[in-house]
Structure 1
Amino acid sequence: MFRIKDEYLNDLETNPWKRFRNRTIRVIVSPYHLMKSIFMVTGAIFWILAIVALISTFTLLESLPHFEDKGFEQAKQSAVKSVEEHLSQSPSALKSYQWISIDKINRELLYAIVMSEDGDFFNHQGIDYDALISALGENIKRREWSYGASTITQQTVKNIYFENNKTLYRKLKELLVTKRLEKALSKNEILELYLNIIEFGPDIYGIHAASEYYFKAKPSQLNAAQGAFLAVLMPSPRKYHFTIYQNQYLAKRHKRKYRRILQDMRFKEYISPIQYDKYMKWSFF
């Protein structure tokens, strides 16, 4: 019978390099050992990555606002704080800022803003997926994050909780908080938050300040025409405060938007045909 010399066995025991070399040769020679080694390495990598992903996801979810306990009051406190931060350099505007409940806002004014910003606000669950996919395609085409397709709920979340930096990661966080907000609050509560944090011009935040500044009236006294005018200012409130309000000039695209808002309101019977004809002749200057 063939026997390995004792000197050779002793050499293997005292020489780690030879043991490693012989083991490596056996792995290379045997397909079974090779596949087993590969699966062990890749499996370990997979589980490490899975654990890291799980921890990262949990950390992200826990870092985002929750609304289960205080709900609307918690969101309102955060909203007021965000406005106060914007007005920190303007003591007079901060002092005059006033939160107003939704039942003290004229119905026509309210629906004019909704028709301008998010016509399906009362029907969707916080996210317009069709518009979001279209915007994503447009952003990829332009190679920049320029279109957000944000609903009123998303705009509310963005303005209260996130900086205005346009990144995909920020958008993901915004979507997660949007779903939480829609689940915890009613549509009227979300709309109240929104109408109290919108910017309508330099240091003009909230529908109360806008009503007083532009029309010397309370939000309960404004009609659909005045609401549509405020809605025209909203995309670029500081810029349009100068070009539209101070220069008293409505460009053709602004007139088209104003007309579209009133048409949508008439179509959904928020105003009557008689009111529509009256508001189309409304003069702001």
Structure 2
Amino acid sequence: MKWKKYLIWGGALCALYLVYVVISLFFLPPVTALKDKKMNMTIQVKDWQGNYHPLLVGPRNRYWTPLSQIPSEMKWAVVLAEDASFYKHEGIDVKAIKEAIKYDLEKQSFARGASTITQQVAKNLFLSREKTLTRKAKELYLAKRMEQEITKGRIMELYLNVIELGPMVHGVGHGARYYFGKSAAALTPRECAFLAAMLPGPRVAYNPYKNLGKVLKRSNMILKLLANKGVLSPGEYQAALAEMPNVGRMQKKVDESIKQVEVMANHTSATLPQGLATEPEKDAAEPAAAPAEQPAAAEPAPEQAPEKAPENGAPPQKEEGAPQEKQ
């Protein structure tokens, strides 16, 4: 029967593909080097015109911001908006993946990826942006290894320093300077929510130059999540809602953003991503600031942040990288 022959050939092809994917995992770069907070590495990022440019990730980048200097509201904003289970999962959110598969099958597309923050770090540092099953398998594998090798705090630090927030604008340090003319440490809750609101699509859907109202609406939603979580008090929440980002300053950035892309196009001859290259460690001094106090944990697990502030008045436990909720 022909259908039996098709099944045999189909099964053989699937088996060969699985073997190919498994073998490719052995050639992925190690993640242990990410433990070193003085480490610098170069990745390739694509500008809005489709050209690739090198981006330095590490303390030698002038916009690099240590986790201890990033406001708690910024950390919680990205967690609540992008990966609410970040402090619970081990790199992969199985429930979110199941929901994404169901959604994608219904829409017959790869519209929803269900990537955790850890997966996004793995993709940004080591992989391309192509939407293929092979790349997704590599992403899942790297995310799992990262959770085994480095802390949640280090993963969050890397994430917040490589996220795309505008035309050749990567990381909250650069985003804070670009949009608000200040350091990341000086960001207000509204500004933190504003930057987090852009993450799903800073190029088009949540580009403040094109869809400012949409970005503000999403940032309002994030502020509400921060208030519900206890990160903001009722008074701080109302004050943040009343605050409007300096839209006039942002409008002036439109022409500057176009010029910046043109300047970057002439700044480097890079045309294709070549993986990563480790940079020298000189001038990569550790920040003097001490890590922020951590939120209370619902259970005494070392790498989990609590879903809620403790109701029994128990003293909070400290954990690296987990932002602090306000009681």
Give the TM-score taking structure 2 as reference length: 0.62
Map 1:39-188 to 2 at 5 A. 56=20, 59-68=23-32, 70-73=33-36, 77-78=40-41, 80-82=42-44, 88=53, 97-188=62-153
Q: In the alignment, does 2:196 pair up with 1:235?
A: no
**Which aligned runs of 4 or more in structure 1 are off by greater than 3 angstroms?**
51-58, 73-78, 82-87, 246-249
Paired residue for 2:226? 265
Residue 220 of structure 1 and its aligned partner are, at CA, apart by 0.6
Q: Where is the strand percentage greater, Structure 1 or Structure 2?
A: 2
Contact 1:87–1:203 (Cα < 8 Å) also in 2: no
Residue 134 of structure 1 and its aligned partner are, at CA, apart by 0.9
Most deviating of 111-120 and 199-208: 111-120
Paired residue for 1:277? 238
2: CA distance, partners of 1:235 / 1:103:
25
Q: Give me the CA root mean square deviation.
A: 3.2
Unaligned runs of 5+ in 1: 1-47
Q: Percent identity?
A: 31
Give 2:28's aligned amino acid: L
Per-residue deviation, residues 41-83 of structure 1 (Å, max 9, x unmatched):
xxxxxxx99x978974663231123234x342399544x4335
Question: Match of 1:88, SS?
Answer: strand
Question: Match of 1:192, SS?
Answer: helix
Contact 1:97–1:205 (Cα < 8 Å) also in 2: no
1: CA distance, partners of 2:21 / 2:53:
34
Larger RCO (CA within 8 A; separation ≥ 6): 2
Structure of larger gyration radius: 1
Per-residue deviation, residues 95-136 of structure 1 (Å, max 9, x unmatched):
975322111111122222222211221121111111101101
Unaligned runs of 5+ in 2: 1-11, 248-327
When the two structures are aligned, how many residues end up with a matched partner?
228
Give 2:175's aligned amino acid: A
2: CA distance, partners of 1:260 / 1:217:
24
2: CA distance, partners of 1:177 / 1:105:
25
CA 162–67 in structure 1, closer or farther in 2 if over 3 Å, else same: closer
1: CA distance, partners of 2:213 / 2:156:
27
